[in-house]
């Protein structure tokens, strides 16, 4: 069964003991495959049922989809001495980064860990926070890890093709993507998040080697991007961000990036509009007081925002991690995917510009 996590479209499922990386279905959104891409997630699909029927079906499925689990005990990580622990005062979208951090930390403890993010486990030990609030447990963590791995793999492929490149890692939270990818010194890596988040990050995580910098800013402000040299192909990776932006802010962000840099990729996850409507079912959104705004049903809609912007790949969150699921879990996913709006409740997208 799948559960949606905070600000990120991680489908969280009960899984079998195997935690092999997913062989998720991938679609190409190139010019030759517009049918797949356009057909998927059209907002109209959610309206195919009459509103009451759709609401009832969606509610029943959502109760099951967002079923809360008894979380694993955060105590299993052990704690750093009380004096070394960071008290958390963040709320809203900023606080949700603790859920994805905790997901990666739990994944790192699995025998077949997907991300091997030991740094996340070390950070969890150092944080004074009741991680049960995140609603994440071991099975849910696999969903977080599979999504992060998809974005890691796409970013790594971009860097393999572009040895001298800029990485804009937006809404980085406490994610150690730079450490996981360990890019060469010819790659300029920029982690961006709100000042309070970056301050916490500095206290909790080691700074990666190489050409690395952190920017303390909302991604929606105009100034920070002007400070980044526009001399290289650029990949912007943003996980668990788009849904917290309004559509207008998301559009302006994408336009500022695609206009400033002469070519590159955008790699990010999104909610569908149904997911945004059902946000109160997501424990960590509800419990942190965060609000989700922007849902994307049809990824090709964004192509009109910049000349040459093309959706090249999309992965449906409902199809990620199927390998890790029991036969019953897979059947549940199939049934849920048949409910209008659910198939595109979350996607991971790769654009070229
Ligand atoms: C769900 S967390 C994801 C964090 C990280 N990407 C991860 O996967 O662990 C959401 C993150 O978005 C950041 N965020 C939300 N709105 C933002 C904005 N306008 N500018 C910069 N960061 C933002 C929050 O501070 C938080 O770190």
- Whether 270 and 341 have beta carbons less than 8 Å apart is answered as no
In degrees to the nearest 10, what's the CA dihedral of 241, 246, 251, 253?
Answer: -50
Domain span at residue 79 reads 2-352
Question: Taking 50 as the threshold, does the pLDDT of residue 86 lie above it?
Answer: yes
pLDDT tier, 76 (very low <50, low <70, confident <90, very high otherwise): low
Separation of CA 346 and ligand 1 centre (Å): 17
- Whether 37 and 29 have beta carbons less than 8 Å apart is answered as yes
Separation of CA 31 and ligand 1 centre (Å): 32
Which atom of ligand 1 is the closest one to the Cα of 175?
9
Strand, coil or helix: what is 55? helix
pLDDT tier, 83 (very low <50, low <70, confident <90, very high otherwise): low
Separation of CA 173 and ligand 1 centre (Å): 5
Quote the CA–CA distance of 293 and 149 in Å, as a whole number.
25
Closest of 112, 143, 137, 150 to residue 318, by C-alpha: 143
pLDDT, tens only, 127-171: 999 999 999 987 789 889 999 999 999 999 999 999 999 999 999
Torsion angles phi and psi, residue 119, rounded to 5? -65, -35
Other C-beta atoms lying within 10 Å of the C-beta of residue 251: 16
Question: Taking 90 as the threshold, does the pLDDT of residue 50 lie above it?
Answer: no
**171 within ligand 1 shell (Cβ under 6 A):** yes
Predicted pLDDT of residue 74: 57
Q: Can you read off the two tokens belonging to residue 235?
A: 């990949």
Averaged pLDDT for residues 14-36? 35
pLDDT tier, 258 (very low <50, low <70, confident <90, very high otherwise): very high
- Whether 103 and 144 have beta carbons less than 8 Å apart is answered as yes
Predicted pLDDT of residue 295: 98
- Whether 125 and 160 have beta carbons less than 8 Å apart is answered as no
- Whether 225 and 213 have beta carbons less than 8 Å apart is answered as no
pLDDT, tens only, 222-246: 899 999 999 999 999 999 999 999 9
Which atom of ligand 1 is the closest one to the Cα of 93?
24
Q: Report the CATH number that the domain containing residue 79 is assigned in CATH.
A: 3.40.50.150
H-helix segments, 50-137? 51-65, 92-95, 97-108, 118-125
Predicted pLDDT of residue 225: 97
Separation of CA 131 and ligand 1 centre (Å): 18
Strand, coil or helix: what is 234? strand
Number of folded domains that form the chain: 1
Residue 116 class from Cβ within 10 Å (0-12 exposed, 13-18 middle, 19+ buried)?
Answer: middle
pLDDT tier, 19 (very low <50, low <70, confident <90, very high otherwise): very low
**94 within ligand 1 shell (Cβ under 6 A):** yes
Quote the CA–CA distance of 38 and 19 in Å, as a whole number.
32
Torsion angles phi and psi, residue 316, rounded to 5? -85, 125
Question: Taking 80 as the threshold, does the pLDDT of residue 88 lie above it?
Answer: yes
Torsion angles phi and psi, residue 5, rounded to 5? -105, 145
Which atom of ligand 1 is the closest one to the Cα of 220?
19
89, 97, 192: which to mutate for ligand 1, most atoms within 8 A of CB? 97
- Name the β-bridge partners of 279: none
Separation of CA 327 and ligand 1 centre (Å): 34
Question: Taking 80 as the threshold, does the pLDDT of residue 321 lie above it?
Answer: no
- Whether 347 and 299 have beta carbons less than 8 Å apart is answered as yes
Predicted pLDDT of residue 75: 54
Predicted pLDDT of residue 33: 32
Closest of 294, 212, 288, 199 to residue 253, by C-alpha: 294
Separation of CA 285 and ligand 1 centre (Å): 13
- Element holding 148 (H helix, E strand): helix 138-161
């Amino acid at each position: 069964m799948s559960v949606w996590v905070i600000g990120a479209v991680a489908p969280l499922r009960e899984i079998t003991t195997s935690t092999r990386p997913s062989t998720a279905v991938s679609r190409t959104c190139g010019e030759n495959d517009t049918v797949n891409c356009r057909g998927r997630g059209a907002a109209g699909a959610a309206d195919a049922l009459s509103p009451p029927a759709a609401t009832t079906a969606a509610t029943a499925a959502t109760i099951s989809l967002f079923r809360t689990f008894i979380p694993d005990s955060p105590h299993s990580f052990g704690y750093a001495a009380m004096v070394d622990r960071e008290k958390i005062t963040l709320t809203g979208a900023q606080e949700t980064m603790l859920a994805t951090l905790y997901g990666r930390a739990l994944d790192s403890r699995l025998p077949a860990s997907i991300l091997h993010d030991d740094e996340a486990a070390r950070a969890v030990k150092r944080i004074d926070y009741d991680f049960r609030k995140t609603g994440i447990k071991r099975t849910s963590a696999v969903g977080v890890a599979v999504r992060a791995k998809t974005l890691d793999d796409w970013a790594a492929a971009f860097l393999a093709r572009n040895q001298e490149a800029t990485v804009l890692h937006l809404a980085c939270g406490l994610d150690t993507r730079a450490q996981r990818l360990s890019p060469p010194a010819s790659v300029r890596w920029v982690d961006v998040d709100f000042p309070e988040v970056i301050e916490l990050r500095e206290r909790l995580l080691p700074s990666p080697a190489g050409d690395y910098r952190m920017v303390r800013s909302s991604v929606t402000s105009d100034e920070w991007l002007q400070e980044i040299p526009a001399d290289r192909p650029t990949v912007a990776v943003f996980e668990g961000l788009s849904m917290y932006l309004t559509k207008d802010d998301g559009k302006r962000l994408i336009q500022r990036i695609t206009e400033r840099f002469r070519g590159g990729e955008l790699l990010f996850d999104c909610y569908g509009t149904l997911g945004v409507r059902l946000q109160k079912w997501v424990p960590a959104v509800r419990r942190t007081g965060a609000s989700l705004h922007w849902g994307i049903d049809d990824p090709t809609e964004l192509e009109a925002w910049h000349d040459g912007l093309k959706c090249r790949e999309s992965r449906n969150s409902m199809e990620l991690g199927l390998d890790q699921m029991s036969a019953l879990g897979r059947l549940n996913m199939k049934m849920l995917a048949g409910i209008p709006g659910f198939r595109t409740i979350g996607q991971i997208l790769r654009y070229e510009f």
